[in-house]
Structure 1
């Protein structure tokens, strides 16, 4: 059996790995890369997107039954909070339904203060915005604080527009439904259609093993790119799945310990396969490794893990292949400490350690509040109720650094334009053809699936998917039923674009937080991770160390991307940024090489280089 695998001895004319890296261009995320990320068929992505679309459609169906106005908000909350597994979904849904009680009490009290008092309303909106933005920056509520702020402030703004006699009742009813509906759908539907976190974990491990097989068969640049993206994700998501699986209380602690070790080992195996693919491995050794890895992947894909793995008969001609073969017998064997109990995580409080000492949290809250208030001012001065979506957008698109704001601005605008175009197109061509609720829900599901597909992709493009959903929901879900009001769709899309512009202007003009302030911290973290990896001697320790190094490397590369997107002094810093890019390329190679030869004599030179660039 012959496989297209490069031989151990490369051609003399072939460029070496170091030469390729030293001449690699320094550039930000390009359109071609974004396009590949959009259509990347990552393992589990389609199922995740289908379930998210089903959740959003079910929320709309429940809203239609209860005749809830502005159904776009509950649908948007469902898309924002929907999780991959049933346990996390249920926990988030319960949290939402608990928080809704406190928000109802808060809104009830605020209505008493602000009803028919315009100045008090403005003050309350400002204080609420500041509070929720601060919590989003400095507390554990970061994933949901913006959503709670969005709904609370939006509720107060809408209440100010309704008849006075009904205001209290409507405030309680609609705020309750806005939050309770997504929470209930996430709990009930999530438990029915979402997989167990253990199954999510085993599928992720199987995906890494299959990617290793693809690399060993002979990979093109696209496959190497996908493998690198998978490597850079480390084990963070897999460890979260293992933690959620332990909360189910239906899996043996020993089995979960074996799966946690398998998750770490899968990253090491993928890194070694990448190393072997780049440096060359004989066809016989590759076939032997592929056969074993495919059998292991099949076991994990069935929701189990291999109890015993024999070392494949791989020669020492390929050091990376031999190291990979050496790691397989201990692939699912946890360390003695991990087998006894899950690893103890350092407990942290509700607020971040620097929540009240780092001025950036307050500055972030001030900029976010300024964006909300400017949007509210435009909304009131123009007397244009249809653009109230500018207020919603401010809560959704705020990001901590200028580089993140700039790098994702294109994704936001393109997502909003795509979602708005779909919304207007459906109003013109689809809505007139709908005779009942079934066709309407099919339309919601199809567009939700498109938005969810993009949102469940790489975090570099997830914003675009969310913006597609935002623009579509707020354009087509004006009331409880199909709308044919083109004016509403136009106004809401204008509101979204206005909110994007205002938020961008606020966050890049006042106290612009640059990603340059973080590059030193992440480079030092990477240098420390490489040092720890060189000091790991057991298979379990080496697997954990490579996963931590890859996570640190991913954070460093992402920070560099954000710096390159910033317009301030980029050209002045270009030589230093290019050197940083080359240092990160070398660190990626070194992290794989350390699995083969931990005693690298040049390790101190590499870490010293990172320390110097960190300043």
Structure 2
């Protein structure tokens, strides 16, 4: 049996720094493209003199995608959606102008609606960005003295989405790779990491990278395949071959991880991976990296004493060869559409409670903003839409990322005002500064999901500090006030979400573990190798959700953790599932793994 995967402890400073500096494939290129898009948005805003250009720059960073097709579709969709919202807001404007109570009610209703959509629909995270812009616009309209300025403010709000959307549609086709290119590079990374595991099985860093990549499953790759199909530039045969390779790349990596764990445990008796197998994997990776896919792959000889290595070799000949009965397999594996709303959108009270808490945080921030009559801290309202999270564990685990990101971004903004802004003489130099700040934020945001949140906060604080009027600013008061607003919004959101209907991550662990066990049972019941590999990838994705919930629960307040009697058991179960899904891919070990699965089902049920 493979060595159990160790559960990661809560993030430490050393672990955070490792994630920040990690050079994952494609991370640098994506960060450069995000920075270029944000800079282009600022350039358009400066040219058109769009007020509060920090908001469009922030929306660009939030919505930018890795490939050109998704960017174009997202840019078009968000503009169409926001166009409908603008029409709705024209009606609201006439009802709320010169009616403060009407403005308060409209702000509360809109906040509730966007938070509900963010929790119970497929619109997230777009729902939060739309809510941010709409509510901010409503508040801005409430501050103008007469209708003509209010109408102008509403039209400017349309630019807050129109400019980022236009940048995504016009710029992405020129600077972003094709989704097919992203897919083939991802497949190459799977194979290279598998070869690295087989060559150096005792390298802990490589094993950690393999576990993290396995937990990603096939969702991202399948989405790239779908977007590649929409491009209409590639042959159906090529896309079918890549579709065949997606689950097999997961299977090869999982088996390589199992072989590496066994080699570490029994270094004296376990045979070394043959060089021919490693070279085959690397040659396949090179072909995928160049944008193609390998064909006529020979099965390299491996020792019969290593079932994991033998199974890797057995997967290679058909790695990119589509199955014969393609139509029946697609019909079997095609997921049923769940619709726009979640299945429990109208029955689960958690969605309503989340929307109520989010609305309470927004309105509390709004009242503090109005009572203090401190215009500079309006960022507290914006922040509420960005930092709201459903469980206490998520709120607490990401609180450090929020605060540290805001402080880093704010420090960058203030230092640039002191040392850089006075020396800027033209728009090019100003845009270079914006590009540098955006690049740092985008680099962090493009990293592991555990730190991506901090990257967005860096961008939030930096943009709101340095983008006030048109061109370079020397007003440090604005930067100070906006950073205070960000910190205030963080505190208010945290206080509201942890005080009213506090939702513990621990309560969701059982469902996540049950989903992983269900996927594992489907893997063992698979009728074909391809279906088995697809189900194994589904197990990895379900495991990722379960492990994250365990991680969130472990950082909740001590009085809550005192009632988490089964937390250690859940950690052990996820480790066993991780082993069983790898053992289930090896025919010789499947009967024993199936028996262990039955015992786990009894424990969880």
TM-score normalised by structure 1 residue count: 0.93
1:100 to 54, 58, 82: 82
Quick one: structure 1 residues 60 and 341, their matched pair in 2 at CA, closer, same or farther if it must change by over 3 Å? farther
Aligned match of 1:294: 282
Q: Deviations over 1:451-482 (max 9, x none)?
A: 11111111111110000000010111112221
Out of 231, 255, 276, the residue aligned to residue 259 of structure 2 is 276
- 2:536 alignment partner, one of 536, 541, 546: 546
For the 8 Å contact 1:108–1:168, the answer to whether it is kept is no
In structure 2, C-alpha distance between the alignment counterparts of 1:380 and 1:605, rounded to whole Å: 64
* 2:499 counterpart of 1:509: yes
Q: 2:556 aligns with which of 530, 554, 566?
A: 566
| Kept in 2: contact 1:258–1:339 (CA 8 A) | no
Asked whether 1:308 is paired with 2:292, we answer no
Matches within 5 A, 1:63-74: 63-74=45-56
Pairing of 1:170-181 with structure 2 (within 5 A): 170-181=152-163
The alpha carbon displacement at 1:161 in A equals 2.3
Distance in 2 of aligned mates of 1:451 and 1:155: 25
Q: Point out 4+ residue stretches in structure 1 off by more than 6 angstroms.
A: 281-284
The 3 A distance-change label for structure 1 pair 66 and 25 is: closer
Q: Tell me if structure 1 keeps the 8 A contact 2:554–2:561.
A: no
Q: Is the 8 A contact 1:90 1:186 kept in 2?
A: yes
Measured in 1, the distance between the counterparts of 2:399 and 2:595 equals 38
1:612–1:292: structure 2 CA closer, same or farther, 3 Å change rule?
same
Secondary structure in structure 1 of the residue aligned to 2:450: coil
Seen in structure 2, the aligned counterparts of structure 1 residues 306 and 192 have a Cα distance that, compared at 3 Å, is same
The residue that corresponds to 1:109 in the other structure is: 91
**CA–CA distance in 2 between the matches of 1:99 and 1:109?**
16
Instruction: Assess if the C-alpha contact under 8 Å between 2:2 and 2:583 holds in 1.
Output: no
Q: Determine the C-alpha separation between the residues in 2 that align with 1:513 and 1:610.
A: 27
**Residue 346 of structure 1: how far off its partner (Å):** 1.1
Equivalent in the alignment of 2:66 = 84
| Rounded Cα–Cα distance in structure 2 between residues aligned with 1:35 and 1:154 | 34
TM-score (norm 2): 0.95
DSSP 3-state at the match of 1:461? helix
Hey, what's the Cα distance between the residues in 2 that align with 1:25 and 1:65? 51
471 and 613 in structure 1: CA distance in 2 versus 1, 3 angstrom threshold:
farther
For residue 285 of structure 1, report the CA deviation from its aligned partner.
3.7
Relative distance call for 1:114 and 1:25 in structure 2 (3 A) is: closer
1:481 pairs, out of 464, 468, 471, with: 471
Tell me, yes or no, if structure 1 residue 233 matches structure 2 residue 223: no
Residue of structure 1 in register with 2:130 after alignment: 148
1:44 is aligned, of 17, 23, 26, to: 26
Aligned match of 1:518: 508
| Matches of 2:271 and 2:232, distance apart in 1 | 45
Query: In 2, distance between residues paired with 1:353 and 1:25?
Result: 31
- Of the structure 1 ranges 490-499 and 95-104, higher mean CA displacement relative to structure 2 is found in 95-104
Aligned equivalents of 1:588 and 1:569: distance in 2?
A: 30
Are the structure 2 counterparts of residues 446 and 560 from structure 1 closer, same or farther at C-alpha, using a change threshold of 3 Å? same
Q: 1:341 to 1:327 in 2, by over 3 A?
A: closer
Which of 441, 444, 449 in structure 2 is aligned with 1:459? 449
**How far apart are the structure 2 equivalents of 1:169 and 1:128?**
19
- Mapped partners of 1:531, 1:76: distance in 2: 43
Quote the residue 1:10 is aligned against: none
Give the distance between the partners of 1:211 and 1:235, measured in 2 at CA: 16
Residue 308 of structure 2: aligned partner: 320
Counting only pairs closer than 5 Å after superposition, residues 203-214 of structure 1 correspond to structure 2 as 203-214=185-196
Larger CA deviation: 121-130 vs 563-572: 563-572
Please report how far the alpha carbon of residue 339 of structure 1 lies from its aligned counterpart in structure 2 after TM superposition.
Answer: 6.4
Which has the larger displacement, 489-498 or 152-161?
A: 152-161
> Can you list the C-alpha shifts for 1:13-58, whole angstroms capped at 9, x where unaligned?
xxx975x86xx67732333222222222111111111111110010
- Partner SS, residue 562 of structure 1: helix
User: Is the 2:271–2:306 contact (alpha carbons within 8 Å) kept by the matching residues of 1?
Assistant: no
User: Equivalent residue for 2:57?
Assistant: 75
CA distance in 2, matches of 1:605, 1:26: 27
Q: Is the 8 A contact 2:7 2:575 kept in 1?
A: no
Contact 1:523 1:610 in 2 (8 A): no
> What is the aligned counterpart of 2:423 among 407, 430, 433?
433
1:14-53 pair list within 5 angstroms = 27-53=9-35
Q: Alignment RMSD, CA only? A: 2.0
- Tell me if the contact between 1:475 and 1:488 (Cα under 8 Å) persists in the aligned partners: yes
User: For 2:317, which of 311, 329, 341 is the aligned residue?
Assistant: 329
The Cα offsets for residues 201-224 of structure 1, whole Å up to 9 and x where unpaired, read as 001000010101111111411111
SS of the residue 1:460 aligns to: helix
- Deviation, 1:341, is 8.5
Runs of 5+ unmatched residues, structure 1: 1-15
Displacement after TM superposition at 1:238 (Å)? 0.2
Q: Which residue of 2 aligns with 1:9?
A: none
1:101-500 equivalences in 2 (<5 Å): 101-164=83-146, 166-219=148-201, 220-280=203-263, 285-338=273-326, 344-500=334-490
Q: What is the SS of the residue equivalent to 1:258? A: helix
Q: In structure 2, the residue corresponding to 1:41 is in which secondary structure?
A: coil
Give how far 1:277 is off. Answer: 1.7
CA distance in 2, matches of 1:165, 1:542: 63
